[in-house]
Amino acid sequence: MDVIKVKANSRTAAVAGAIAGVMREHKYAEVQAIGAGAVNQAIKALVLAKGYLAEDGIPIICMPEFVDVDIDGKVRTAIKLIIEPR
């Protein structure tokens, strides 16, 4: 399963749909964002996905953590949201 990567210009509804789809299929999802704008979009998408999944009777929890990511030889700190069923 791939990590869902979010950018500052990612469409919130599209990311929410991806989160909900991965959760329905795998019962686990990871979302990664670098930068304030991307983290904002990821959190908004998570809230939308929570609503989508609640309609299907799938309550979720989110555990955020910091991760180091290597991009073009430079190490950047990202926020990773680990999403699991409650």
The CATH number covering residue 67 comes to 3.30.110.20
Angle at CA of residue 23, ends 19 and 24, nearest 5°: 120
List beta partners, residue 31.
4, 81
For residues 28 and 55, the answer to whether their CB atoms sit within 8 Å is no
Please give the chain's pLDDT, 86 residues, in tens.
Answer: 689 999 999 999 999 999 999 999 999 999 999 999 999 999 999 999 999 999 999 999 999 999 999 999 999 999 999 999 99
Q: Count of domains in the chain?
A: 1
Dig out the tokens for 15 from the structure.
Answer: 């990311």
What's the confidence (pLDDT) of residue 2?
86
Nearest to 46 by CA among 62, 57, 59: 62
Q: Is 46 exposed, middle or buried (0-12, 13-18, 19+ CB in 10 A)?
A: buried
Q: What residue numbers bound the domain in which 71 lies?
A: 4-85
